[in-house]
Structure 1
Amino acid sequence: MPRSSPRKKPAINYSEDADVKPSAAKPSAAAKALANIKEAASKADAEVVPKRKAEAEAEPGTNGEASKAPKKRKTQAGKDAASMPLAERTAVSSLKKAMYIGAHVSAAGGTFANCVAGKPASVNSRLLGIGVQNSITNAAQIGANSFALFLKPQRKWANPPLAAEARDLFISGCTQHSYSAAAHALPHGSYLVNLAQADEAKAVQAYCAFVDDLLRCEQLSIRLYNFHPGSTLGDARTAAIARIAAQLNKAHKATKTVVTVLENMAGSGNIIGSTWEDLRDIIALLEDKDRVGVCIDTCHAFAAGHDLRTPAAFKSTIDSFNEVVGAEYLKAFHLNDSKAPFNSNRDLHANIGTGFLGLRAFHSIMNHDAFRNMPMVLETPIDRKDPDGKTVEDKQVWADEIKLLESLIGMDPDGDVFRATEKELQARGAWERSKIQGQVDKKSAKDAKKGSRGIGGKAGGKRKKKVETDDESG
């Protein structure tokens, strides 16, 4: 999912016009998305404020410099503009294939951070301005047919229970907007939770936070729950996998209906889940195999060495997944291009078509019959700098990407519209790809030099390998 990282460039701004409503399921939708990209290219570049400059402006100065400007209150007109639909929602029945495409939308704070147990409902009802129920309106605003969300602040261990008002608003909101919480909502687990944790106290803490999320899912009638398998923390991989499975078995017994969905990972350091075999081995140890599934993150897969770029590579990768893990376990997708090259083990999400994966990979996904009816969730970057140097979210990016992906269904990949869109998107991401490729090449050369010194150089024996972590936790 998108996150603020000091390593991230401001996201590509696909459109500055919130009133643009691309049509769906027609080749012209891709042409409109392409037009949005071209129109916004110069504007997005002009809006970029160098990170150091932006940080300097944000810091209180010594001698009265860089003092904070008075906080502006949002007018009602501003609030209304912020909630205006950015794209019409496509009826899935009108698409050539039933692909449910959406994004990981905001449901930050509010209900969980502010509502206080024991306070009167009249008090807590005023604190429901932000919460799980908002994920529905945020999804509808960008024209999404599926959505992901955090069920509570994902970087906090302790959270109040789910408020009854938030639960009821979420359920009624799904009905009002015709979303199936059971089929097309895909909550994302906390980044704090590591079910492979060996330390007893920490393992209990991780389990309690995990089960708390599963119980929230069941209160909200959500059936699928996506999470990262975990990290070995330097322990043997088989032992770590056994601990994950034991925690899942325990969690399944403590709940009734939710399906725990393992996400594949990019493969850096001690992270579990970059190989299909890791996922297979966890599933093999589970007692109730109806309560487990897999979400394929396209960026993670590519970074871990599972190629999707050409029709032949796509077929080989999916055939391998089906053979090793099993097609019946595939429940969802995270749709992200990759800023980093193939098999780099770097988790750097890029906007669709701008990365090393490219648009052809997503054409293959959108036209694969076996993937129908699954939640397909964007986690692509949408952050950019406004004229004041403040980082803001441009949700129009997701609205445009949803339409772009929908337009790929049934599109001729050899046709002029596809080729023009593919070319323009690759051009937009060229600078970022070149930068990351340079970093990867530099690291490879450095590692090779270390290796040669270790074999026969003056440095002597092997040096301790630096443990890497994922660049992003998507």
Structure 2
Amino acid sequence: MPIKIKHDLHNGRNSCCYPSVSLQLAGQSCRTGAPFTRPFPPKNMAPRKKGEKKGNTEEVMETKEPQHSGAGPSDGSSREEKTSRKRKIKPKKKYIGAHVSISGGIWKAVESSVAIGGHAFALFLGSQRSWTRPALDTAAAVKFQEACAQHGFDPIHILPHGSYLMNCGSPKEDVFSKSQTMLVDELSRCSALGLSQFNFHPGASLDSTPEKCMEKIAQAINHAHQQTPAVITVLENMSGQGSTIGGQYSELRSIIDRVRDKTRVGVCLDTCHAFAAGYDISPPGGVKNILDEFDSVVGLQYLRAIHLNDSKGKLGCHLDRHEDIGCGQIGITAFREIVNEPRLDNIPLILETPGRPGFEYAEQIELLYSLCEKKTKN
């Protein structure tokens, strides 16, 4: 008997819009108090490795009754075939995906993205716990490129994320030097993987000044551009917490102004960070307003990607606390506007919401595509 999946797509802030199906998670609910429920996971799902985010390698949720016996789908097609068909159903020009794991090999990120129905994805290019990493294996790089080609991923819809260890604006010379070296290494890895852009957090001034910090960030970018070919460095806007740089559009513009090769610099807008920094995208028309302001201060030609995150914190809280789409202070209205905003066509729209037991990115990707309005011909 098929399970009916119902989305409430018309609620505003603090409404959670996930499918309600067979298994309720103990203690998991949105701010509205509505239970967050999901289907049983496939019986043949591989166990999650310690430290690996849940949901990055799981299957796309199907609307047929879950298979508890381990047998294939009842219509005779394999789960892979169903996933492939589901992945093809998307509005043109909207490329939604999630940050996925590279556990087991960097090419596994492609498989994970396909499994959750993604048409874009983000990934780390190595360990986040060490300044030094083994060189990228040539065979692994080839497998990654082959997997991307097989599943139709264009490099412009893949957004590698920089190490959180980096602080390219640090006043501490040892940290700045290691950060600059790592930035070069990250761009080199992108080149080896056939990727065209690289996203990272600009940095923090600590006990220095914002002006000196922005100067050092641009210095690191210019140095990395000299050492590597082609790859675009994509600055991420920040929440404004502590001494971090990038909470205000004007700070991003100031860094860009100092970068010599303007064709190799861009911006990724994180919705949670923007909201926490004081840019209110939650009301109707909020997305249009912040994009208009971004265009006037930075320029839409520099917008390369969006990180799709709701916010646990209130407007202007300066806290970097991501929440599930539609379950935070931003609410579903903004995300409906994002997936229907033509100025955000053809760029990666990446989910970075918290992983937890029983949670799947597939559900959020499906939700976001369901919010896309079909264009009617006159």
Q: Shorter-chain-normalised TM-score: which range? A: 0.7 to 0.9
> Which residue of structure 2 lines up, in the alignment, with residue 259 of structure 1?
232
C-alpha change, 1:241 and 1:162, in structure 2 (3 Å) is same
The alpha-carbon distance between structure 1 residues 208 and 381, as it changes in their structure 2 partners (threshold 3 A), is same
Q: How does 1:235-384 map to 2 (within 5 A)?
A: 235-384=208-357
SS for the counterpart of 1:301 is helix
Deviations 1:308-344 (A, max 9, x none): 1123332221111100000100000100000111111
Shift of 1:98: 1.4
1:166 Cα offset (Å): 0.9
- Counterpart of 2:98? 103
- Structure 2 counterpart of 1:45: 27
The whole-number CA distance in structure 1 between the counterparts of 2:117 and 2:3 is 12
SS of 2:267's partner is: strand
Name the counterpart of 2:149: 175
Q: Could you tell me how far 1:78 is from its partner in structure 2?
A: 5.0
Give the letter aligned to residue 214 of structure 2.
Answer: I
Query: Quick one: structure 1 residues 77 and 360, their matched pair in 2 at CA, closer, same or farther if it must change by over 3 Å?
Result: closer
**Structure 1, unaligned stretches of length 5 or more?**
1-18, 48-75, 109-129, 385-393, 413-474
Query: Which residue, out of 90, 115, 138, partners 1:164?
Result: 138
Choose from 51, 54, 59 the match for 1:85: 59
Provide the secondary structure at the position in 2 that maps to 1:186.
strand
Q: CA separation in 2, counterparts of 1:226 and 1:245?
A: 14
Aligned equivalent of 1:187: 160
Q: 5 Å matches for 1:82-231?
A: 85-87=59-61, 88=83, 95-108=90-103, 130-180=104-154, 182-231=155-204
SS at match of 1:334: strand
Structure 2 SS opposite 1:212: helix
The 8 Å contact of residues 170 and 216 in structure 2, kept in 1 or not, is answered as: yes
Q: Which residue of 2 aligns with 1:14?
A: none
Counterpart of 2:372 in structure 1 is 409
Deviation, 1:177, is 1.4
CA distance in 2, matches of 1:247, 1:375: 25
Q: 1:252 deviation in Å?
A: 0.6
Shift of 1:46: 7.7
Structure 1 residues 108-142: Cα deviation after superposition (integer angstroms, max 9, x where no partner): 3xxxxxxxxxxxxxxxxxxxxx1211101111110
**Shift in Å, 1:257:** 1.1
Q: Identity percentage over the alignment?
A: 38
Distance 1:140 1:256, change over 3 A: same
Aligned residues: CA RMSD: 2.8
Cα deviations by residue, 1:262-311 (Å, 9 ceiling, x for unpaired): 00000111000000000000000111000000000000000000111123
State the Cα distance separating 1:408 from its structure 2 match. 0.7
Instruction: State the structure with more CA Rg.
Output: 1
Residue identity in the other structure for 2:362: A
Instruction: Provide the C-alpha distance between the structure 1 equivalents of 2:199 and 2:237, rounded to a whole number of angstroms.
Output: 10
Unpaired stretches in structure 2, ≥5 consecutive residues:
11-15, 30-42, 49-54, 62-82
Q: Which has the larger share of strand?
A: 2
**Distance apart, 1:210 and its partner CA:** 1.2
CA 44–103 in structure 1, closer or farther in 2 if over 3 Å, else same: farther
Q: How far, CA to CA, are the matches of 1:221 and 1:381 in structure 2? A: 28
**Measured at CA, do residues 98 and 303 of structure 1 come closer, stay the same or move farther in structure 2, by a change above 3 Å?**
same
**Helix, strand or coil at the partner of 1:187:** strand
C-alpha distance 35-322 of structure 1, shift in aligned 2 (>3 A): closer
Question: 1 or 2, which has the higher helix percentage?
Answer: 1
1:36 aligns with 2:12: no
Return the alpha-carbon distance in structure 2 between the equivalents of residues 303 and 273 of structure 1: 12
Q: Does the 8 Å contact 2:45/2:58 carry over to 1?
A: no
Q: 3-state SS of the aligned residue for 1:43?
A: strand
Q: Which amino acid aligns with 1:402?
A: I
- Counterpart CA distance in 2 for 1:77 and 1:91 is 20
C-alpha distance after superposition, 1:128-160 (max 9, x if no partner): xx1211101111110100000000001211111
Amino acid of the structure 1 residue aligned with 2:27? D
Q: For the Cα contact (< 8 Å) 2:281–2:334, is it kept in 1?
A: yes
Q: Which secondary structure state, in structure 2, belongs to the residue aligned with residue 323 of structure 1?
A: helix
Q: Does the 8 Å contact 2:91/2:369 carry over to 1?
A: no
Amino acid in structure 1 at the alignment position of 2:105:
G
Against the structure 1 CA distance between its residues 366 and 78, is the aligned structure 2 distance closer, same or farther, given a 3 Å change threshold? Answer: closer
Where 2:349 maps in the other structure, the secondary structure is strand
CA distance in 2 between partners of 1:270 and 1:373 (Å): 33
Mapped partners of 2:129, 2:336: distance in 1: 35
User: Normalising by structure 1, what TM-score?
Assistant: 0.65
Which of these residues, 346, 361, 367, is aligned with residue 398 of structure 1? Answer: 361
Counterpart residue type for residue 25 of structure 2: K
Q: What TM-score, normalized to structure 2?
A: 0.80
Tell me, in whole angstroms, the C-alpha distance in 1 between the residues paired with 2:85 and 2:270.
23
Q: Give the Cα–Cα distance (whole angstroms) in 2 for the partners of residues 200 and 307 of structure 1.
A: 37
- For residue 179 of structure 1, report the CA deviation from its aligned partner: 1.2
User: Does the 8 Å contact 1:97/1:369 carry over to 2?
Assistant: no
